Chain A
Amino acid sequence: MGPLNNSSPLTTHVLNTGDGLPAVRMAISLHRLDPQMTLWNLITVGSTNEDGRCPGLITSDAFTPGTYKMRFETGQYWESLEQGSFYPYVEIVFTITDADQKFHLPLLLSRYSYSTYRGS
């Protein structure tokens, strides 16, 4: 067995708390704020799997201290379920000071609410 998506130091998990299910096939993108703080550089684009996760978000080498943004295309997701939603998308901006640690950023989501936390 070769090295799998050698666990990304940054992971996420999107849960549809309205239906009590993982949010499947939600588009996600990861961005890093450029050092001059003037724009966001796109690092990865992906979508959640059957378990609401998105493996391989970033490699350990690429994961350096800085300010990151995870953008979840929640509006599109609800539209694909033929439902409306209060939020066209969700962006979570966070600061990484120690890139040797692992960071888990879940998103618990319903049509009219969401929450996130730093997990493990």
Chain B
Amino acid sequence: MNRLQLIKDHILSRERNASEPLSNGLYARVTSAIHGKNPRHFQNMAMPATQPSPLTTHVLNIAKGVPGANMTISLYRLDPVSSVWNELTTRLTNDDGRCLCLITKETFIAGVYKMHFETEKYWNALGEISFYPFVEVVFTVTDASQKYHVPLLLSRFSYSTYRGS
């Protein structure tokens, strides 16, 4: 199931970034496989390997000791010439507080990136207020062949981040 979800997320990500949407056929087939309409068909097929994103994150709600699920995260890269932030992707964290397929190896180049976490919306959905309307972590990727893990440990009145693995 995880593998199918990975592929679905990959297709969704490509659709968002492509100027023309992919054919509905592939997306629909993967989606119905995930939702159990023809699971066997996909289980026995040779799946194209989807490489894990070289950039990952993990949101943890340290006030409650649970992953930060269903939080909207956007990834931006700074255009070095115009100093404009270009949005690369917007995703929701899953039940484990992670975002699969943030970026592909091909798109991940050296540069300055920004991860924008919609923390206030997250806390509001839990019926709570938050000191921070959002959290932005800006970081420099010097060597895009490495993996970068940028987690966010969060409570209503504090947060921390670090470069992990």
Q: A residues near B, CB below 8 A?
A: 67, 75, 85-95, 108, 112-118
Contact = CB atoms under 8 A, between A and B. Distances in A.
B132 A94 contact: yes
A93 B140 contact: no
13 contacts: A86-B163, A93-B132, A93-B133, A93-B135, A94-B133, A95-B133, A113-B160, A113-B161, A114-B160, A115-B153, A115-B159, A115-B160, A117-B159
B133 to A, nearest CB: 6
Interface of B: 112, 120, 130-140, 153, 157-163
A87 B160 contact: no
The 5 tightest CB contacts between A and B, nearest first, are: A115-B160, A117-B158, A113-B162, A118-B157, A112-B163
B163 A88 contact: no
B136 A116 contact: no
A20 to B, nearest CB: 17
A86 B157 contact: no
A87 B140 contact: yes
A86 B140 contact: yes
A8 to B, nearest CB: 18
A9 to B, nearest CB: 15
Contacts, number: 56
A87 B139 contact: yes
A92 B154 CA distance: 13
Contact of A115 (B130, B134, B140, B161): B161
A115 B160 CA distance: 4
Contacts of B137: 87
B131 A94 contact: yes
B138 A118 contact: no
Contacts of B112: 88
A116 B133 contact: no
Contacts of A117: 157-159
B138 A91 contact: yes
A116 B159 contact: yes
A79 B163 CA distance: 18
B78 to A, nearest CB: 9
Contacts of B130: 95
A87 B158 contact: no
B161 A95 contact: no
A113 B138 contact: no
B156 to A, nearest CB: 9
A91 B139 contact: no
Given A75-B140, A93-B133, A108-B160, 12 more contacts: A85-B140, A86-B139, A86-B163, A87-B138, A88-B140, A90-B138, A94-B132, A112-B162, A114-B162, A115-B153, A116-B158, A117-B159
A113 B161 CA distance: 6
